[in-house]
Chain A
Amino acid sequence: MPSPATPSPHHRLRIVVAEDSVLLREGLVGLLTRFGHEVPAALGDAEGLRAAVEEHAPDLVLTDVRMPPTFQDEGLRAALALRAERPKLPVLVLSQYVQRSYAAELLDTGEGTGVGYLLKDRVGQVEQFADAVTQVAAGGTVVDPEVVRQLIRRRRDPLEQLTPREREVLGLVAEGRSNASIAAELVVSEAAVGKHIGNILGKLDLPPADGTHRRVLAVLAYLRA
């Protein structure tokens, strides 16, 4: 049965999943399969992650932060180690905690491209989650709205020059949204969004270059501010 949420076959990704809760792991595998992806390996701990990546050469790694044996941040550490070895490998990290430190550490790898840091709760928003998976796999940056919300509340230098509307737009960019999606969210035209983004890039002193890359840099400036 074709459903509007099922993407076309050429988006089919190979994804390695690391999640210690069996219930959730099965759920994630089911969800990813439902959206047409393939899961060659699903692990219960972070230790076998590297071997699994070497064996299956996935398009994306999806991992939980808290994993056995100490249930601290093994998943994140494993993700960072993987990114240190292969900066081009897209990694999406799921966390139970909204924590800027985690997100910042992750975004410091591979110039912040092809990474995602999402709150576990977002998995429930299946379509948005599937969207985030696709974006990270395509080299995008996805940061949890909750982290973004925290950052908006902080008074920080480079961001202080931004108007509230520009901050809102930047927040949505950090979430990995496209201009069209931002325009829909704010009920404005796509051109208006483009103008806002231009202003933001100007105020953050990001010289014109490859458009997508500047967006990532803007998000990074936002996170590190």
Chain B
Amino acid sequence: MARESVRVALGRRGYLGSSAPGRAVAYLVGGVLLGALVLVGGLALALLGGVLVVVLVGIPLLGLLAFAGIPVAALERRRLTLVDPAPPAPTPHRTPEAPGIPAWFKLRVKEQATWRELAYTALLALVLWPLDLLVLACTLGAPALLIGAPAQLALDGGEIRAAKLWLVSDYPHAFAIALLGLALLAPLLYPLGAYATARAALARLLLAPREAELTHQLAEVTRSRARLVDAFEAERRRIERDLHDGAQQRLVALTMTLGLARLDVTPGSPLAAQLATAHDEAGNVLTELRELIRGIHPQVLVDYGLAAAIEDAAERSPIPVDTDLDGLPRLPEPVESAGYFTTREALTNIARHSEAPRAHITARHEHETLRIDVRDNGKGGADPGRGTGLTGLADRIAVLDGTLTVTSPPGGPTVLSVEIPCRAQQPRALTTD
């Protein structure tokens, strides 16, 4: 059985037999140890800092003390799972935008969470851990002494005074007292569990992120995903440019040289045949390279926009494709790019899986939204979750606040739709000079 929170376990009949009381005890014992350690460590650091202030080294040392809450809080958040296994409390802190220690400190000083954590740490060192200790002593102290009676008797021999109350000199009595201890322990474990729950709730209240901090983190995740997509896109361009300006140009020059060389050899000679082979081979490589470059990022998309690029993809499709792209304006680059690659992926899937005789693409820009529908009258039953290509594209579209939907009942038709909100771009001025 999965671990449940102490609070839930308290309400069940099997509480005493479960791991919950043990975890509550472990949580409080840990709290005592950590609290005592923080108090001692904090005092020592404060003292050292205070003394060293005279030689200035102490000032940063004292400053460091202000951040002591951060590691303590991190540990405390982790310890919370003892009492409440799921979900673990995430950090309320943000990731610094720039690497390096100065950026880290700058961000932490500004964050409210840092100071909440410091307050919690002070509370832990001064109030909470003595309280934890007190609760532990009250609930576990007396039963522990009683339960320990047989062991004490075995160690001391002769006679002992169990829990300073009864004089015991033989084992039957000692075990009876141990049983009494157990009986006493059982009801006391309930307030112990309740206290541990309350204690953990207080820690969570101070250490878990607030609503605003969570919203901020979500926005940050979205932004970082957008940055990743941008970086991916930029890398694509760079590869395309490199291939184009490097390998492709050299290959063209090579085929030209080989072509010229063929003019100068004696026709029908072995050398002429070899040159012809080399020439043809270089030509084939060039063709392959051209297709490869086009797959990475088609230049027509940059120069003429989405409509021309979709037309182009439709023309290359192995099955006939009708296009209806009337009045599609130039759109922001990431939108055009996402729209194009989705359309191409859809056409690839149709050709591969749908058994459709024909496909139809409609694209419109209305109400500041681009909508592309790719429809086929194939056998249907397409599973959008299966194609990894579509998943990646869905991510790219999601970054642009768009949606990708696929409807594909068995027997067809399959319709893949993309909707991306965006404004039309001003047409690029013709550079006539």
- Determine if B302 and A96 form an interchain contact, defined as CB atoms under 8 angstroms apart: no
- Is there contact, CB below 8 Å, between B294 and A124? no
Complex interface bits, A66-97 against B, C-beta within 8 A gives 1, otherwise 0 = 10000111100100110010000000000011
Proximity string of chain B (265-284) to chain A, C-beta cutoff 8 Å, 1 when within and 0 when not: 00000000000000100110
Q: Which of B279, B290, B430 contacts A124 (CB 8 A)?
A: B279
Contacts of A23 in B (CB 8 A): 249-250, 253
* Cα A34 to Cα B311 with chains together (Å): 40
A161 within 8 A of B: no
CB neighbors of B among A28-50 (8 A): 28, 30-31, 34, 50
A153 to chain B: closest CB distance in Å?
A: 7
Q: Which of B57-65, B104-112, B255-263, B348-356 contacts A (4 or more CB under 8 A)?
A: B255-263
CB of B256 within 8 A of CB of A154, answer: no
B286 vs chain A, min Cβ distance (A): 5
Contact, CB under 8 Å: A31 / B260: yes
Closest to B308 in A: A101
Interface string of A138-162 (1 = CB under 8 A from B): 0000000000001001110000000
B275 to chain A, nearest CB (A): 12
Q: Across the two chains, which residue of chain A brings its CB closest to B432?
A: A81
Looking at A31, A100, A101, A124, which has the most chain B CB atoms within 10 Å of its CB?
A: A124
Is A24 a contact partner of B253 (Cβ separation < 8 A)?
A: yes
Q: How far is the CB of A188 from chain B (nearest CB, A)?
A: 26
Q: Evaluate contact between A31 and B244: CB separation under 8 angstroms.
A: no
Q: Is the interface of B mostly helix, strand, loop or mixed?
A: helix
Q: How far is the CB of A47 from chain B (nearest CB, A)?
A: 9
Cβ of B303 and Cβ of A72 under 8 Å apart? Answer: yes
A164 interface residue, CB < 8 Å from B? no
User: A183 to B154, alpha carbons, bound, how many Å?
Assistant: 117
Whose C-beta in chain B lies nearest to the C-beta of A82?
B432
Contact B249 A24 (CB under 8 A): yes
Number of cross-chain contacts by CB at 8 Å: 106
Q: Which B-chain residue is minimally distant from A126 (CB atoms)? A: B259
A7 CB to closest chain B CB, in angstroms? 13
B300 within 8 A of partner (CB): yes
Please tell me if B245 contacts chain A, counting CB pairs below 8 Å. Answer: yes
Q: Are A155 and B286 in contact (CB under 8 A)?
A: no
Is A3 touching B250 in the complex (CB atoms < 8 A)? no
Complex Cα distance, B299 from A73, in Å, reads 9
* A81–B429 CA distance with the chains assembled, in angstroms: 13
Is A124 in contact with B431, judged by CB distance below 8 angstroms? no
A124 and B250 contact, Cβ closer than 8 Å, known pairs A34-B260, A96-B244, A150-B315: no
Minimum CB–CB distance from A133 to chain B (whole Å) comes to: 13
Minimum Cβ distance to chain B for residue A43 (Å): 16
CB-CB under 8 A from B264, the residues of chain A are 3
Contact partners of A186 in chain B: CB under 8 A: none
User: Which residues between 32 and 61 of chain B lie within 8 Å of chain A, taking CB atoms?
Assistant: none
Residue among B255, B257, B320 making CB contact with A155, cutoff 8 Å: B320
Contacts of A181 in B (CB 8 A): none
Contact A126:B256 (CB < 8 A) given known A3-B264, A153-B315: yes
Does B287 sit within 8 A of A, measured CB to CB?
A: yes
The answer to whether B298 has its CB under 8 Å from any CB of chain A is yes
Given the interface pairs A66-B299, A154-B315, the reply to whether A121 lies near B432 with Cβ below 8 Å is no
**Cβ-closest chain A residue relative to B299:** A97
Asked if B257 and A27 make an inter-chain contact with CB atoms under 8 angstroms apart, the answer reads yes
In the complex, whether A125 has a CB less than 8 A from a CB of chain B is yes
A102→B309 CA distance, assembly (Å): 12
Chain B residues with Cβ under 8 A from A185's Cβ?
none
Report yes or no: A73 in contact with B303, Cβ–Cβ below 8 A: yes
Question: Quick check: A124 and B252 within 8 Å, CB to CB?
Answer: yes
Docked-complex contact B259 and A125, CB < 8 angstroms? yes
- In angstroms, Cα B285 to Cα A83, docked, is 34
Chain A residues with CB under 8 Å of B255's CB are 121, 123-124
Give chain B residues whose Cβ lies under 8 Å from the Cβ of A30: 260
Q: Which of A66, A74, A119 contacts B244 (CB 8 A)?
A: A66
Identity of the chain A residue whose Cβ is nearest the Cβ of B262 in the assembled complex: A126
B383 at the interface (CB under 8 A from A): no
Shortest 3 CB-CB contacts between residues of A and residues of B: A124-B255, A126-B259, A21-B249
* 8 cross-chain CB contacts under 8 A: A3-B264, A30-B260, A77-B432, A96-B290, A123-B259, A124-B255, A124-B259, A126-B260
